[in-house]
């Protein structure tokens, strides 16, 4: 405790009193500063202990998550902005795709495909098959040797040596981008068979001006004119910061967010809880449009049908045949997963899980393209084998089943 005592004898001498008071005030200030310093020193160990405890707690949580419930998601730097397609692969680039479920290499060839190299010119007597679609075709989550394209090629080559199967799949592409990719580069492959894989979220990709989920950049899109014809819009595609290269050109906050998201399990867990890739409301619309009776989504289906028709005409114009493969979603195959999704997203009302299949079958009949619906095979096989990762993509067994079914179809005379 700081005190300032003045001798009573000094008080009778005014000048001496003022000097003493001034000296006392200086001493009091010094004393107060010393007291504050002592208080800070008393609190310092407590603060240090609290910070150390917090750091240890975070470290323990991080360690526990890394072993029991990994959260990291690392995208390899193999995609980039494309002014015509929105995004695409970077030729001759490689990296690893890491999620809590898998760690696989993504290697891109010289023309931007996740595949081996192909000769520019098709050799005489060779039959070529080109696969188009999104991450299912690209082989998300599996080594390229296990992807549907490679397994299909191996199956066909057992009876037909002179056959080449190329993987034109790109993560996040809708039917519209797949069509544009075929016209931009796929037609150069001189395929005899073009196989387009359709997955449920293609409905939303086709109706959107931006990518959904992991691909957040802008994209080209089609509009339906009053005469029912398609009109391409949004080209050249606006570049977004999500695809900006190099990474050090991004704002510091974005770079820090990406670093913590890719290296800290706890941060990624909190991020997924507070910033889901697809908000809850959009998820509800997603399921309502695919499996519900809401008339609001009829234009998206109409647009998708017209894009499929345009794809068929483009493929035939280049001397090939189009086959559309319906990729069943995990909720259509695993009943437990559908029940969990309904509870998670609060899906109320009647849903018809066969609606997308019926709509595609209608388009196939109306526009005259072949359709392979994999739903029945997947439901039957799922009784004895797991076909999907928890992130809803096919695992190696899912790719193998799709390749087997498609191989049997393409072997037909």
pLDDT along the chain (413 residues), means of 10: 52 52 59 67 74 77 65 83 96 94 96 96 95 98 98 94 95 97 92 98 93 76 95 94 64 71 67 63 84 88 98 97 98 96 90 96 98 98 97 97 97 70
Q: Do 59 and 126 share a domain, yes or no?
A: no
| Of 26, 42, 68, the domain-final residue | 68
For the domain that residue 378 is a member of, what is the CATH number? 3.40.50.1110
- pTM for the whole structure: 0.82
Structural domain contains residue 55: yes
| Of 68, 98, 130, the domain-final residue | 68
Q: Do 62 and 113 share a domain, yes or no?
A: no
Structural domain contains residue 169: yes
Q: Do 45 and 177 share a domain, yes or no?
A: no
Q: Do 290 and 171 share a domain, yes or no?
A: yes
Structural domain contains residue 253: no
Structural domain contains residue 74: no
Structural domain contains residue 257: no
Q: Do 313 and 350 share a domain, yes or no?
A: yes
| Spatial CB neighbours of 380, under 8 Å, sequence gap ≥ 6 | none
Q: Do 83 and 29 share a domain, yes or no?
A: no
Number of domains in the chain: 2
Q: Do 52 and 85 share a domain, yes or no?
A: no
Q: Do 94 and 29 share a domain, yes or no?
A: no
Q: Do 51 and 85 share a domain, yes or no?
A: no
Structural domain contains residue 261: no
pLDDT for 11: 47
Q: Do 91 and 225 share a domain, yes or no?
A: yes
Q: Do 84 and 64 share a domain, yes or no?
A: no
Structural domain contains residue 271: no
Q: Do 161 and 25 share a domain, yes or no?
A: no
pLDDT for 21: 52
The residue segments making up the domain with residue 339 are: 79-244+277-410
Structural domain contains residue 110: yes
| Of 68, 97, 128, the domain-final residue | 68
């Amino acid at each position: 405790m700081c005190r300032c005592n003045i001798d009573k004898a000094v008080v009778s001498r005014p000048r001496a009193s003022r000097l003493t008071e001034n000296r006392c005030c200086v001493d009091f200030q010094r004393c107060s500063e010393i007291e504050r310093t002592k208080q800070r020193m008393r609190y310092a160990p407590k603060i240090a202990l609290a910070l150390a405890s917090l750091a240890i707690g975070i470290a323990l949580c991080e360690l526990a998550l890394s072993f029991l419930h990994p959260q990291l998601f690392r995208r390899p730097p193999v995609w980039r902005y494309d002014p015509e397609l929105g995004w695409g692969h970077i030729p001759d680039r490689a990296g690893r795709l890491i999620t809590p479920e898998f760690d696989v290499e993504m290697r891109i060839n010289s023309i931007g495909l996740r595949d081996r190299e192909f000769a520019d010119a098709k050799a005489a007597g060779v039959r070529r098959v080109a696969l188009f679609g999104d991450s299912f075709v690209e082989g998300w989550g599996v080594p390229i040797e296990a992807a549907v394209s490679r397994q299909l090629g191996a199956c066909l080559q057992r009876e037909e040596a002179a056959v080449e199967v190329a993987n034109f799949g790109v993560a996040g592409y809708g039917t519209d981008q797949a069509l544009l990719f075929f016209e931009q580069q796929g037609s150069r492959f001189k395929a005899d068979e073009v196989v387009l894989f359709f997955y449920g979220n293609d409905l939303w990709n086709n109706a959107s001006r931006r990518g959904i989920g992991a691909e957040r950049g802008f994209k080209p899109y089609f509009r339906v004119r009053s005469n029912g014809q398609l009109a391409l819009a949004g080209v050249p595609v606006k570049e977004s910061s999500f695809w900006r290269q190099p990474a050090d050109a991004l704002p510091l906050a974005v770079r820090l967010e990406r670093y913590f998201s890719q290296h800290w399990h706890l941060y990624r867990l909190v991020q997924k809880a507070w910033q889901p890739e697809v908000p809850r409301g959009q998820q509800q619309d997603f399921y309502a449009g695919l499996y519900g009776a809401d008339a609001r989504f009829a234009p998206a289906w109409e647009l998708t049908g017209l894009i499929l028709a345009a794809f068929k005409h483009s493929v035939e114009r280049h001397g090939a045949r189009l086959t559309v493969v319906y990729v069943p979603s995990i909720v259509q195959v695993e009943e437990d997963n559908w029940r969990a999704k309904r509870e998670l997203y609060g899906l109320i009302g009647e849903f018809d899980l066969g609606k997308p299949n019926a709509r595609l079958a209608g388009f196939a009949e109306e526009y005259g393209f072949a359709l392979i619906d994999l739903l029945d095979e997947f439901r039957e096989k799922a009784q004895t084998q797991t076909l999907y990762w928890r992130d809803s993509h096919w695992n190696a067994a899912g790719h193998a089943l799709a390749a087997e079914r498609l191989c049997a179809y393409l072997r037909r005379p």
